[in-house]
Structure 1
Amino acid sequence: MELQSKGVVKPHSSLFALLARVVDCALVITGVVITAFLSLESLPQAYLIAALGAVICLQFSAEFAEIYRSWRSETMWAEAKQVTFCWLASFVFILAIGSITNLGESLFAWPQFSLWFIITLALLLGWRVSARVLLQKLRDNGYNTRSVAIVGSGELALEVAHRLQKCTWGGYVIRGFYDDRQNPSSEPLEPNQTCRSDSGAKNCPLAGDFSDLISEARAGKIDQVYLTIPMRGEERIQWIIKRLATSATSVYIIPDVFMFDLLHARTVNLNGIPAIGIVGEPNRGTMSMLKRMEDIVLALIILALISGPMLLIAAAVKLTSKGPIFFRQTRYGLDGRPFKMWKFRSMTVCEDNTAEIKQAQKNDTRITKLGGFLRRTSLDELPQFLNVLEGTMSIVGPRPHAVAHNELYREQISGYMLRHKIKPGITGWAQVNGARGETDTLDKMERRVEFDLQYIRNWSVAWDLKIIFMTVFKGFTGKNAY
């Protein structure tokens, strides 16, 4: 079965990028016009000046975010986040200028400015969704597709094929696997039929060897080639790239990063040199600001609700045993930096020896009667909302351990210190799954770390809210909490 890649956008990619810019500019102005007629039933000249300023700001921010690049291999959600960020940055800047200069009169008064922001954002996202739906229909009918060849037939090749198949909106048609270390199968894969990486298979039937790949690329039958040869096969890789240079085929190298324990892996540009971050930074940039806003808002609300109970607990701690009301212990926080964590005192001692700390155990004589109740119900943790407000902790995240425990387990558990790639939390995914309390065996700590890394890899605001909801109903108590 012969494939024919019916490109529509690629030959005119520059024209489509220009068209996208024009559409965005027009929609920003349209947003102002709609806002004006909804609020004033007229269009003041100052509104058009404000719209022109917003257009210029949007184009500047678009250059940094590269929103006019090809989004074929990325999700609508990824594109929507970038577009939203660009429009938000542009809007905030023009709003500040307009508020200072009184430009646009009521355009920068409530609720007109919020109406303009929402209407314009809806228009900017709406046309992109419509364009994706149209392209999806075209690609489903064989138009604007990309014929893909995968060099290699091992597990990495299977994973690449699986990822391309999951990218249903991209219009990728997998022509086959090509390798010189195996004989081509007598029954090669049909177009877009692949082995699944999760099926347990170690390799796939081949569509041909390297000579077949070069011939088909030169004949224009292949648009993109993905090289999945191990990095030790440098000579083979160079040989293929040199010969593919005689065609117009795009060539991509896929390094086998799956051999590593990936944590928010991403590519970075080191002044023109591409690099792959195996261990990335989950909450940086806009995601960091989003999580910080979430923490501040929720912490203020929760502290307002629990201020009364906290005063009662503080009085009870002071009246029932000698010592301070609060206990501050050194823990490791973001990036492994030490900080002081607040708790209600629950023991007769206030140990903060970073060299060695004895974990609380069942029937521990150091725990006061009130302290036992506070620890079982996690009420001793309430002062940590103060840590959240000061920025050393988050409401949701991996629970911070004593420094001595960190020094012990960092050598025994692979990936243990990766827990510190985000701020520690008052509650976390491990805690709502029962992994809390004393860790008297290595298995218990490994289980906790596994939950923590799962949370870090898949963090979202929705997941934070889910964990908080689960904490309210089952996360405060547990059979291992004492």
Structure 2
Amino acid sequence: MVKKDIEVFYWLQRCMDFVLPAASVYFAFLWFYADETVSQAAIDLALMLGALFVLVSQLTGLYRSTDLWYQKGFEKLVIKSWLITVLIQFFIVDQTQFNNAVYYSLLLAIPVLLWFYRYLVYHFLQKLNRRGNQRRRVAILGAGKVGRLVAQNIQQSLLYAVNLVAFFDDDKALINQHIESLPVLSNLDDIALKLAELECNEVFICLPVSSEPRIREVLDSLANSSVVVKFVPNLFSFDLLNASWHDFFGLPVISVYDTPLNSMTNLFIKRIEDILLSLFAIMVSAPVMLFIALLIRLTSNGPIVYQQVRYGLNGRPITVYKFRTMYVDSDQSLMVQATKNDRRVTRFGKWLRRTSLDELPQFFNVLRGEMSIVGPRPHAAEHNEFYRNLVPKYMQRHMVKPGITGLAQVNGFRGQTEQLEKMEKRVEFDLHYIRTWSLWLDLKIFLLTFLKGIIHDNAY
């Protein structure tokens, strides 16, 4: 099944995920209130639940994988999406206008229906795939890492109805062996004739890019056959773990180091998220910030807010605001991180650092567009110059705006990095966030920050 077919399939699934909750609510009220006209409130509830479930499912990743929904694991995503949907509608819908028994029964029954229809489709696809005469016979040229990965994906997929026949490889040590339950029959000489004997009508070429002459020979050999040829380049010698394919004006392009936040749509969503959350945070924390400012003024001499130059998006310098936590006449060298019982830190400053309340002024950085609520934490410029030569891909952290909180922070990697391994782990989390960004991930990190990320033993 080609990509376009899969996209159509998942749009149909989204339609089902909208129609089923909406129809369930509508017909339930129609059934239990047979003598009355279904109220506009019930119709609004039906449409809202359907649309909200599809939106939440998109954010939780229910539609992300082409195979996940019918494999083990889709149940958790369905129930997570439905629980979030129900939680949101509790804040929107006035439940007192509905019969409680009908209303709550529907909230419990709909996720069961969402599971049930997925299982029906699963068994239908299984039955369809058992029809061997409708399957394409497929061979894989190259029994290396990519060839084995292709075989695994095909064997696990119900959306790609084929019969895998065999591997072909030039490696004599592999010939006559069995890999992924498939035989490695012979080398690639006379491959067109061998495929015809096996009645194969499709092949995947999974040879390394270093074998370009051999790939050309195979392509020339298959040029005069009716076999469908698909080329899967073996690029495992490069760091392409998170790479993705794109169509660039008709040219296939691999994004090696990239982020979903290069999309204008995602950037717009991220900016709206930042504005709304920062305005909310400023309004809620305004009394706290005024109280902190007063205590800083009363407990030590110097400015209330400390300004520090750090690197922002694309490595450009920005001025970051923090409540001052150190004495003015202390050595505030940027290369010397604060440590436990650091004498440069004021008594009140220790509490501010431990509770992360010294970071509150950075919500104004977010409003100005220099930072985000969620993103890699900005390091001092001197620390950047120091670590960029020690930690691989360190500067890729600046592909997105720095954040007040981040994936590394909620996983415990915040504060002092006295060991290089700690910085490496922090960068690993930052890069994972950059490559897998989603609105749902941002909201999850934002909530986790309040649950376990505000107070931390490593914050000095």
SS of 1:210's equivalent in the other structure is coil
What is the match of residue 97 of structure 1?
none
Q: Which amino acid aligns with 2:343?
A: T
- Matching residue within 237, 240, 259 for 1:281: 259
Structure 1 residue 361, shift from structure 2 partner: 1.9
Structure 1 residue 446, shift from structure 2 partner: 1.0
Deviations, residues 299-338 of structure 1 (Å, cap 9, x unaligned):
2322222222122112222232222222222222222222
Q: Which amino acid aligns with 1:342?
A: Y
TM-aligned CA distance change 1:472 to 1:138, over 3 Å: same
What is the match of residue 364 of structure 1?
342
What is the match of residue 406 of structure 2?
428
Distance 1:177 1:445 in 2: 43
Structure 1 residue 237, shift from structure 2 partner: 0.6
Matched, 1:322 2:307: no
**1:347–1:366 contact (8 Å) kept in structure 2:** yes
Q: What are the equivalent positions in structure 2 for 1:347-362 lying under 5 Å apart?
A: 347-349=326-328, 357-362=335-340
Distance 1:376 1:266 in 2: 40
TM-aligned CA distance change 1:369 to 1:223, over 3 Å: farther
Distance 1:393 1:316 in 2: 27
Number of equivalenced pairs:
365
Structure 1 residue 449, shift from structure 2 partner: 1.2
Q: Which amino acid aligns with 2:200?
A: I
Distance 2:127 2:438 in 1: 31
Q: Which amino acid aligns with 2:155?
A: Q
Structure 1 residue 282, shift from structure 2 partner: 2.8
**2:296–2:304 contact (8 Å) kept in structure 1:** yes
Distance 1:351 1:131 in 2: 69
What is the match of residue 154 of structure 2?
164
SS of 1:274's equivalent in the other structure is strand
Structure 1 residue 410, shift from structure 2 partner: 1.0
**1:174–1:193 contact (8 Å) kept in structure 2:** no
TM-aligned CA distance change 1:145 to 1:322, over 3 Å: farther
TM-aligned CA distance change 1:261 to 1:420, over 3 Å: farther
Structure 1 residue 413, shift from structure 2 partner: 0.8
TM-aligned CA distance change 1:263 to 1:313, over 3 Å: farther
SS of 1:246's equivalent in the other structure is coil
Deviations, residues 64-92 of structure 1 (Å, cap 9, x unaligned):
xxxxxxx9x95699xxxxxxxxxxxxxxx
Q: Which amino acid aligns with 1:177?
A: F
Deviations, residues 23-64 of structure 1 (Å, cap 9, x unaligned):
x9xxxxxxxxx9xxx999xxxxxxxxxxxxxxxxxxxxxxxx
Structure 1 residue 254, shift from structure 2 partner: 2.3
Structure 1 residue 383, shift from structure 2 partner: 1.5
Q: What are the equivalent positions in structure 2 for 1:429-444 lying under 5 Å apart?
A: 429-444=407-422
Distance 1:151 1:266 in 2: 22
> For the aligned residues, what is the CA RMSD?
3.9
What is the match of residue 153 of structure 1?
143
Q: Which amino acid aligns with 1:160?
A: V
What is the match of residue 167 of structure 2?
177
What is the match of residue 206 of structure 1?
184
Q: Which amino acid aligns with 1:372?
A: K
Q: Percent identity?
A: 43
Matched, 1:406 2:369: no
Structure 1 residue 370, shift from structure 2 partner: 1.4
Structure 1 residue 263, shift from structure 2 partner: 6.5
SS of 1:391's equivalent in the other structure is coil
What is the match of residue 112 of structure 2?
none
Matched, 1:239 2:217: yes
SS of 2:245's equivalent in the other structure is strand
Q: What are the equivalent positions in structure 2 for 1:193-232 lying under 5 Å apart?
A: 193=181, 205-211=183-189, 213-218=191-196, 221-232=199-210
**1:230–1:255 contact (8 Å) kept in structure 2:** yes
Structure 1 residue 262, shift from structure 2 partner: 3.3
Unmatched runs of 5 consecutive residues or more in structure 1: 1-8, 25-33, 41-70, 78-128, 195-204
Matched, 1:310 2:289: yes
TM-aligned CA distance change 1:288 to 1:308, over 3 Å: same
SS of 1:258's equivalent in the other structure is coil
TM-aligned CA distance change 1:350 to 1:305, over 3 Å: farther
Deviations, residues 238-289 of structure 1 (Å, cap 9, x unaligned):
0001111122223233223333333642223454432322112331223333
Structure 1 residue 193, shift from structure 2 partner: 3.5
**2:169–2:175 contact (8 Å) kept in structure 1:** no
**2:312–2:318 contact (8 Å) kept in structure 1:** yes
TM-aligned CA distance change 1:411 to 1:463, over 3 Å: same
**2:208–2:235 contact (8 Å) kept in structure 1:** no
- Matching residue within 326, 333, 349 for 2:312: 333
SS of 1:240's equivalent in the other structure is helix
TM-aligned CA distance change 1:402 to 1:145, over 3 Å: farther
**1:347–1:371 contact (8 Å) kept in structure 2:** yes
Distance 1:273 1:481 in 2: 49
SS of 1:168's equivalent in the other structure is coil
Distance 1:371 1:245 in 2: 73
- Superposition TM-score, scaled by structure 1 size: 0.65
SS of 1:232's equivalent in the other structure is helix
TM-aligned CA distance change 1:453 to 1:315, over 3 Å: same
**1:388–1:395 contact (8 Å) kept in structure 2:** yes
**2:202–2:227 contact (8 Å) kept in structure 1:** yes
TM-aligned CA distance change 1:137 to 1:302, over 3 Å: farther
TM-aligned CA distance change 1:132 to 1:222, over 3 Å: farther
Distance 1:257 1:317 in 2: 56
Distance 1:206 1:373 in 2: 66
Unmatched runs of 5 consecutive residues or more in structure 2: 16-25, 27-37, 41-62, 70-117
Distance 1:253 1:334 in 2: 37
What is the match of residue 231 of structure 2?
253
**1:267–1:277 contact (8 Å) kept in structure 2:** yes
Structure 1 residue 420, shift from structure 2 partner: 1.9
What is the match of residue 458 of structure 1?
436
Distance 1:212 1:477 in 2: 67
**2:297–2:304 contact (8 Å) kept in structure 1:** yes
Structure 1 residue 217, shift from structure 2 partner: 3.7
- Superposition TM-score, scaled by structure 2 size: 0.68
Distance 1:239 1:221 in 2: 21
**2:166–2:185 contact (8 Å) kept in structure 1:** yes
Deviations, residues 383-441 of structure 1 (Å, cap 9, x unaligned):
22222222222222211111111111111111211222222221122112211111122
**1:327–1:350 contact (8 Å) kept in structure 2:** no
Structure 1 residue 213, shift from structure 2 partner: 3.9
